[in-house]
Structure 1
Amino acid sequence: MRETETADVTAFVGAAGGAGTTRTAVEVGAALAADGREVAILDAAFATQGLADYVQGRIDPDLTRLLVDDGRDLSTGLLALDLGGAVPGRAAVCPAHAPFERLAWAKRVEAARRFESLIATASSRFDHVLLDVPPIAANQAVAAVNVADRIAVVTPASDRGAEAVQRCHERLADVGTEASLVVSVRGDLETADVSVPATEATAADAAPACLGDEDAFAAAIGRIAAALTGEELRGSDEDGDGLLGSVGGLVGR
C-alpha cells in the first residue's frame, strides 16, 4: 500500500437501475491495478448482486454475511479479480451473493453501520476503495455515499439517463452530499464529465476490457481513474497533458 494513512473511497452510484455501474467500477479498479495500485471493490447493490458475476468459485462469506455477522473480518470475504495477466497491482472484490432473507437483514440500520466499518477497514489496507452503489434508496447506499471521499454518478447515454442524473443529484442533496463527476456509458451525454463508448466485450467474463488494446473505451476508463485519483496514470498521452490533464478540474469535492 502507498504511504498514506487511509485510501481514497469512491462511490460509483447508479443514476438508474441497469446503468452499468458495476462494470464501470470493475474497469476502473482494473485500470488502477494496472497502474500498480491495490484496489478493493465492495458491493452495495444488494438487489442485483452483479459484482458476483465478475468472480469465479464459491462466494462464502459474501458481503451481506459480513454485515449480519460482525465477528468476521473483511479479509474473509475478499476474492481476487482476474485481471487476465500480470499487472503490478491487484484488485479484490467483496460481492453480495445471498438469499432474500439475509438481504433484508443486510439493509437494516445496524448493518449499514457495519458497512461503514468495513469500508474503513478496506481504506486502511488498500490504496483505493471503490463502492458499487445502486440508486440511493436503501440504508447501505446512504452509508456508502456518506463515507465516500468522491462520488461518480453513472448513467446511460440517453434521455432517460439525463433525467435520472438530475434525480440522483437531488437524492444526494437530500442526504447531505454531492457528486464529484458524472459518467455516461454506452455513448456521449452532453451533461457528462466523462463519456465511455460502448464496447463489444459486454459479457462479465470479458471484463476487464480496458487492459487490452489502447482504444476509446480504455482511454475513457483511464480518464475516470485519473479524475478520481487526481493523478496521471501510466500509459497516458506523452504528447499532451495526459489522462489527468484531459479531465482537469472535474473533481469538485
Structure 2
Amino acid sequence: MSTRTVAFVGAAGGVGTTRLTVECGALLARAGQDVAIFEMAFATQGLSSYVDEPIDADVTALATGEAELEASLYEPYETPGRLSLCPARGPFERVARAQTAGAASRLEQQFAAASLSHDVVLLDTPPVCSNQALAAVNVADRIATVVPGDTRGRDALARLRERFADVGVSADVVVANRGDEEFTDADVTVPDSAETAPRDEPVCLAADGAFPAAVADIVDATLGVSVDIDATDDDGGGLFSRVTDTADGQ
C-alpha cells in the first residue's frame, strides 16, 4: 500500500491516545509494516516513556531545525517491520519555540520525509489547540478521535467536533477507549487491557485477546489493513495469521 498518515486525536487529556497510537503501530510493525510515530503532545511527553535510551534529539528539536529526522527516530522494540518513535523530550525553551507556526510547517515537511521510508505515519495528537496539532490534522489522510467510552466521552466528542469544524477537518473514525457497547457514537470500542504496564512492551507485539482484537479493528477502520486475531485467546498464540490491505478496494 502507499504510505498513509493517520492523526490520532485525543478528545481530552488522559484518554489513552498515546497508548492506542503505540499499540496500533506495534500491531502494524509486528505484521511487517514500517511505522513512524510522531508525538504532538509536547506538554505531556508520554511517548518518551516508551524509549529506554537517552533521548538527545526529539520532535521539538526536529521542529526547530536543530536535529535531523533519522537522529530523532528511536526503535526500542525488535519487530519484523520498523517501529520508529519520535517522542517529545525537550527543555521548556525549545518546547516553546517548537510550537510556532514556522515550526509546525517544518514538522509537516518531516512527516512527508518519514512517509518516504515508512509504510505508515501515525501522529499522536492532543486536542486541537496548538500549531503542531493543527499541522497533524492538516496533513493526515485519516483522523481518528479517541474519547473515553462514557458520558464524558460524548461531551468531549461534541466539543472536538466543533473544533474540527473551526479548522475545516472532520473525524473519520471515533474510538471509545475503555468503553462499553452502550457508547453508540463509536466506530470502535476498546475494552480494558489486563496488561497494566504497557510501556514494558506493547500488548499487540505478542498477544491475542479482546484488547489486541479491538486495536486491529482500529487499524482496519483507519487504514483498511485487516489483521486476523483470535479475540478469545489471551495466551499469545496465533497472532497475525493474516494481513490484508482492504483500502481502496485492494
Q: TM-score, normalised by structure 1?
A: 0.87
Do 1:226 and 1:243's aligned partners in 2 also have CA atoms closer than 8 Å?
A: no
Do 2:11 and 2:157's aligned partners in 1 also have CA atoms closer than 8 Å?
A: yes
Q: Measure the CA separation in 2 of the matches of 1:156 and 1:244.
A: 29
Are 2:94 and 1:102 aligned? yes
Gaps of 5+ in 2: 232-241
Quick check: 8-17 or 53-62, which moved more?
Answer: 53-62
Q: Structure 1 residues 216, 234: CA separation in 2 closer, same or farther (over 3 Å shift)? A: closer
Which position in structure 1 is the counterpart of 2:196?
202
Which position in structure 2 is the counterpart of 1:155?
147
Matched to 1:68, the amino acid is T
In percent, how many aligned pairs have the same letter?
47
Are 2:33 and 1:41 aligned? no
Task: Spell out the pairing of 1:81-230 with structure 2 (5 A cutoff).
Answer: 81-82=76-77, 87-188=79-180, 189-230=183-224
Are 2:3 and 1:11 aligned? no
Q: Measure the CA separation in 2 of the matches of 1:64 and 1:231.
A: 31
Higher relative contact order (CA 8 A, sep 6+): 1
Do 1:133 and 1:141's aligned partners in 2 also have CA atoms closer than 8 Å?
A: yes
Which position in structure 2 is the counterpart of 1:20?
16
The CA deviation at 1:203 is: 2.5
| Displacement over 4 Å in runs of 4+ | 234-237, 242-245
Equivalent position SS for 1:161: helix
Q: Measure the CA separation in 2 of the matches of 1:243 and 1:126.
A: 17
Which position in structure 2 is the counterpart of 1:75?
70
Which position in structure 1 is the counterpart of 2:28?
32
Equivalent position SS for 1:79: coil
Do 1:134 and 1:141's aligned partners in 2 also have CA atoms closer than 8 Å?
A: yes
Q: Measure the CA separation in 2 of the matches of 1:226 and 1:55.
A: 27
Equivalent position SS for 2:194: coil
Do 1:9 and 1:129's aligned partners in 2 also have CA atoms closer than 8 Å?
A: yes
Q: TM-score, normalised by structure 2?
A: 0.88
Deviations 1:18-72 (A, max 9, x none): 11000000000001111110000001000100000111111111110111125x3
Do 2:126 and 2:133's aligned partners in 1 also have CA atoms closer than 8 Å?
A: yes
Are 2:51 and 1:55 aligned? yes
Q: Measure the CA separation in 2 of the matches of 1:68 and 1:233.
A: 37
Equivalent position SS for 1:232: strand
Q: Measure the CA separation in 2 of the matches of 1:75 and 1:63.
A: 11
Matched to 2:30, the amino acid is A
Matched to 1:106, the amino acid is A
- The size of the alignment, in residue pairs, is 237
Equivalent position SS for 1:23: helix
Deviations 1:94-135 (A, max 9, x none): 000011111111000110101101111111110000000000
The CA deviation at 1:213 is: 3.1
Equivalent position SS for 1:143: helix
Q: Superposition RMSD on alpha carbons, in Å?
A: 2.3
